[in-house]
């Protein structure tokens, strides 16, 4: 589907708060099939007719009865405070999608698969990882995921459990405002040096690489990947604002 597709009223079936600033809304999936990495638009309409629209990546794996949308609260935002503070289970939201065909990964594409996320950029990559866990466990994968603190790493426990149960999956966390908690993790931002060290330990040649986060993060991470020999044509990037 494209951004011109019709709007659907989807029911909020569950809400999970991962951190004080990040929550996921689980909506009944009346949109049909989607691919890992796609997103949807949400529309809020005020009584006077004013509309506010925002795009949110789908974090859940394709094929489920619900879709998970991870929402970071932005204090000066028009939409995210409403989704955090006002929306309740049983409410309906106007949703359009799925949207996007460039930033997607399917099991048929194979790997090795390299995923690099900054803050809320983990959402579409989580969809890819969950899809991989269901359909393509033979694909080698490396995740490099950075946030401010250990507690800001959304889906942290699920990612740790995935990696512990799967020898082909490597997960590296970077925390810019705290010391590293695990062997192989690092303190600091995801930069050229940390990308180089993570890739050297992984020792694979990525066939598909996906980078998601703020514009500055994406520029830094993609430049580091290219500098370390990852071919530019295998890198796909998605940019948006959010936690760093």
The crossing angle, in degrees rounded to 10, of helices 122-135 and 156-165 is 30
Count CA atoms closer than 13 A to 84's CA, side-chain side: 19
Tens digits of per-residue pLDDT, 71-104? 999 888 889 999 999 999 999 999 999 999 999 9
CA dihedral 145, 129, 99, 224 (to 10 degrees): 40
Instruction: Look at residue 2 and tell me whether its pLDDT is greater than 70.
Output: no
Contact 174, 146 (CB under 8 A): yes
Please tell us whether the domain made up of 107-239 is placed in CATH 3.40.50.80: yes
Q: What are the extents of the domains in the chain?
A: 8-99, 107-239
* Mean pLDDT of the chain, nearest integer: 93
Decide whether 8-99 matches 107-239 in CATH topology.
no
Into which CATH architecture does domain 8-99 fall?
Answer: Beta Barrel (2.40)
Distances, alpha carbon 206 to alpha carbons 14, 71, 114, 142, in Å: 36, 29, 6, 9
Nearest residue to 96 (alpha-carbon basis) of 40, 27, 36, 29: 40
Q: Which residues of 62-97 are buried (b: 16+ CB within 10 A; e: fewer)?
A: beeebbbbbbbbbeebebbebbbeebeeeeebebbb
* Whole-model pTM over 0.75: yes
Tens digits of per-residue pLDDT, 53-70? 999 999 999 999 999 999
Three-state DSSP state, 210: strand
Tens digits of per-residue pLDDT, 103-160? 999 999 999 999 999 999 999 999 999 999 999 999 999 999 999 999 999 999 999 9
């Amino acid at each position: 589907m494209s951004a011109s597709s019709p709007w659907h009223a989807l029911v909020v079936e569950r809400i999970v708060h991962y951190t004080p600033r990040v929550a996921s809304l689980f909506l009944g999936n009346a949109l049909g099939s989607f691919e890992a990495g796609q997103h949807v638009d949400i529309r809020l309409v005020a009584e006077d007719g004013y509309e506010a629209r925002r795009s949110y990546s789908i974090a859940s794996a394709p094929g489920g009865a619900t879709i998970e949308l991870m929402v970071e609260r932005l204090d000066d935002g028009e939409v995210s405070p409403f989704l955090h503070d006002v929306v309740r289970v049983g409410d309906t939201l106007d949703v359009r999608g799925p949207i996007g065909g460039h930033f997607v990964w399917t099991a048929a594409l194979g790997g090795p698969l390299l995923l690099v996320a900054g803050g809320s950029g983990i959402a579409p990559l989580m969809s890819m990882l969950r899809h991989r866990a269901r359909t393509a466990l033979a694909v080698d994968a490396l995740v490099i995921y950075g946030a401010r603190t250990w507690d800001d790493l959304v889906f942290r426990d699920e990612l740790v459990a995935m990696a512990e149960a799967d020898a082909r999956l490597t997960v590296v966390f970077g925390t810019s405002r705290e010391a590293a908690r695990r062997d192989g993790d690092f303190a600091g931002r995801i930069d050229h040096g940390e990308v180089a060290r993570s890739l050297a330990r992984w020792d694979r040649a990525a066939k598909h690489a996906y980078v998601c986060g703020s514009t500055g993060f994406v520029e830094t991470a993609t430049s580091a990947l290219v500098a370390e020999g990852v071919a530019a044509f295998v890198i796909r990037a998605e940019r948006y604002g959010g936690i760093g």
